[in-house]
Amino acid sequence: MLKRTPLYDRHVAMGARMVEFGGWHMPVQYSGVMPEHHAVRTSAGLFDISHMGRFSVSGRDSESFLQFVTTSDVSTLGVGQSGYSLLCTMDGGIIDDIFIYRLPSEYLIVVNASNLEKDWNWLRSRSTGFDVDLEDLSQRWAMFALQGPQAEQLFCDAESMRGVGLESLPFHEIALFSFFGFNGMIARTGYTGEDGFEIFCDAAYAPQVWDELLKLGTPGSVLPCGLGARDSLRFEAGLALYGHEITEDTNPYEARLGWTIKLNKPDFIGKNALQQIKATGPTRKLVGFEMVGRGVARADYPIHDLAGNLIGHVTTGLPAPTLDKPLGLGYVPADLSAIGTEFDVMIRGKATRAKVIKTPFYQPRYKR
Amino acid sequence: MSFNTPAELKYAKTHEWLRVEGDEAVVGITDYAQHALGDVVYLELPEVGATFAAGAVFGVIESVKASSDLYAPVDMEIVGIHDALIDDQEPINADPYGNGWMLRIKPTGSAEHLLDAAAYEQIVEDASDD
């Protein structure tokens, strides 16, 4: 039985195309991936991301616990700040990529829907000896993403948002707000490469908040968006998707996430292995590529060198809507990862030339 | 959701349509298929002169989300392709039975296995219930 978010009835009533994703019944698109993608790049789009996991970590040792189980330096987060981080195995494999928000008396961590149970069990099993309380808030809270260059203006112009200072909420910060008569938290975070907000509110009134967010501005100012556009937007902005660019069989250095590893903080799970990988350098690297030949690379297609040897695979590939050409991300040996290097993507058995280019394909436009 | 399914055409279960014109025929994909795919952004068509058995893959069509095979509705030889679609696939979505046509073919086998509009609509209805 697939799980449903508090917005399920809204999605169905609005004619969204529903698909299975990570055990959830989720909208893949409303009006179409292309119009939704372009709306987020040029105006504003609204996503239901309630399927993501939300855990609270509280108690005296919450900071030292998070220092131990994640790769980033949690001690640098001030109250109201947030940051990207990883959970790694002892071997340095990536269990999940997560977002950590520091609230006044607890931490809120947001994890991938498909990893919710795995992360929960991992965190529980590693909490022995720490004075921490873990609580799964995933069912109790809903979560939306309002993203796009117009998101701030549209949200701040809402009657209930006048004069509350949302426009001065800094990048990656979170605060309590009252919106449309309901209380919740708003963070200036997202997964699209655009400015925008992630909104946390009680599941009980999530449908009303959703309706109000869709009514911002004039009709059509905010387009409801599905997971299809979420994927193409994050892909262009060079943001990893768990299960594609990162898995337990990939390490952060080859995934170009070395910046999330703080080796100079106290001991943490995976530290020794990661130190080793950093010292020797990763043997393969995630690269971005464009097609030289005609074709669209898709996830899991093999990559061959020009002599025909299998050297890697595509992690994500699609016709990038903003860049207007087929692009891809994939793993290749480190010595074939330089910009300009050519290789072949095997598209339905046909060797199709591709060339390494700079990532991100689309330079994010965050408000910092 | 209802889709346009012109009565004068023949349909393959794989969502291609065929319009007989003398001893040749025109092939494209159905309104249901273009809708299910979403905006088409890439198309690969065969060369003129190529031959295909019914059910064989003759081309590839891609949207942002997915890539799909195109299947020969009947045994066929390609006598013409709609070149303009290679650079601009918009007509496939906008006008699937008109300017979105893909191939001009010479059928080289039977077309008896193809469906009429009512039978194809039934298939689409069953698929939409999933």
The torsion angles phi and psi of A229, rounded to 5 degrees, stand at -70, -35
For chains A and B, count residue pairs whose Cβ atoms are closer than 8 Å.
39
Instruction: Tell me which residue range forms the domain holding A181.
Output: 8-49+140-236
In a domain, A206, yes or no: yes
Record: contact A28-B63, CB cut-off 8 A: no
Q: What confidence tens digit (pLDDT) does each residue in A293-342 have?
A: 999 999 999 999 999 999 999 999 999 999 999 999 999 999 999 999 99
My answer on whether A66 and A132 are in the same domain is yes
Average pLDDT, chain B: 94
My answer on whether A149 and A64 are in the same domain is no
| Cα distance between residue A195 and residue B104, in whole Å | 48
Q: Which residues pair with A202 in a beta bridge?
A: A141
pLDDT at B32: 95
| Domain end position, chosen among A236, A270, A297 | A236
| Cα distance between residue A4 and residue A24, in whole Å | 6
A29 in contact with B at a CB cutoff of 8 Å?
Answer: yes
CA B60 to chain centre: 11
A30 with A223: CB under 8 angstroms? Answer: yes
Q: What confidence tens digit (pLDDT) does each residue in A101-150 have?
A: 999 999 999 999 999 999 999 999 999 999 999 999 999 999 999 999 99
| Domain end position, chosen among A109, A136, A163 | A136
My answer on whether A163 and A122 are in the same domain is no
In a domain, A345, yes or no: yes
Record: contact B67-A29, CB cut-off 8 A: no
A238 with A191: CB under 8 angstroms? Answer: no
What is the nearest CA distance from B35 to chain A, expressed in angstroms?
9
- Residue of A233, A296, A314, A327 best to disrupt the B interface, most CBs of B under 10 A: A296
| Cα distance between residue B122 and residue B115, in whole Å | 10
pLDDT at B127: 80
The tally of domains found in chain A comes to 3
My answer on whether A215 and A287 are in the same domain is no
CATH number at A347 reads: 2.40.30.110
Q: What's the pLDDT band for B1 if we cut at 50, 70, 90?
A: low
My answer on whether A30 and A146 are in the same domain is yes
- Residue of B43, B65, B85, B86 best to disrupt the A interface, most CBs of A under 10 A: B65
In a domain, A348, yes or no: yes
Asked if the B10-117 domain carries CATH number 3.40.50.2020, the reply is: no
Q: What confidence tens digit (pLDDT) does each residue in A248-283 have?
A: 999 999 999 999 999 999 999 999 999 999 999 999
My answer on whether A32 and A149 are in the same domain is yes
Which residue of chain B comes nearest to A318, CA vs CA? B64
My answer on whether A117 and A230 are in the same domain is no
Domain boundaries, chain B: 10-117
Pairing of strands A141-147, A45-48: antiparallel
Record: contact B64-A296, CB cut-off 8 A: no
B90 with A34: CB under 8 angstroms? Answer: no
My answer on whether A174 and A206 are in the same domain is yes
Q: What confidence tens digit (pLDDT) does each residue in A163-196 have?
A: 899 999 999 999 999 999 999 999 999 999 999 9
Which of B44, B62, B65 minimises the CB distance to A228?
B65
My answer on whether A149 and A231 are in the same domain is yes
